[in-house]
Copies of this chain bind each other. A is one copy, B any other.
Amino acid sequence: MQFRKINRLMLLISLFLISSIFFNQAMAQSKNQMVRLAKIKVDPLQLEKYKLALKEQMATAIRLELGVLTYYAVADKSEPSHITILEIYADTSAYQSHILTPHFKKYKDTVKDMVKSLELVDVNLIAAAKQPGN
């Protein structure tokens, strides 16, 4: 009985370590992924409302769309209304589906008078590397 418990514990620890290694591995861009930087200048007076709409869009897309892989949204410290979003989609068709979803259309409609300029820069992922859980 004692042996069984240790055995189970070993199994669980192994599984956790394997997961950690999996999540830790350095990644290059998968063949078909679509990666982009969106550079957005927001009306400073509407910045908090914009950020709420953005966060809702990001969380909903990740929850409902398996083809929306990664979002990081950052704001310049010296100019907080200048926002950069790193976006990774499984492929271009995942992106094409994404822009037709109700949550994306709601976001675009909500922010249409908050966004002063939008520049979309297509990029290739050179590499990504992360600690487990990041």
Known A-B contacts A16-B15, A24-B62, A66-B131; A73 and B121 likewise in contact (beta carbons under 8 Å): no
User: Does A92 interact with chain B (Cβ within 8 Å)?
Assistant: no
How many chain A residues have a CB neighbour from B under 8 Å? 50
Separation in Å of the A77 CB from the closest CB of chain B?
4
In the complex, are the beta carbons of A134 and B26 less than 8 A apart?
A: no
Separation in Å of the A79 CB from the closest CB of chain B?
9
Binding site for B on A (CB under 8 A): 4, 8, 11-12, 15-16, 19, 22-24, 26, 35, 37, 51, 54-55, 58-59, 61-62, 66, 68-78, 80, 83-84, 86, 88, 121-131, 133-134
18 contacts between A and B (CB under 8 A): A8-B11, A16-B19, A26-B55, A26-B62, A59-B127, A62-B130, A62-B131, A70-B130, A70-B131, A70-B134, A71-B129, A71-B130, A73-B126, A74-B123, A74-B124, A75-B124, A75-B126, A86-B86
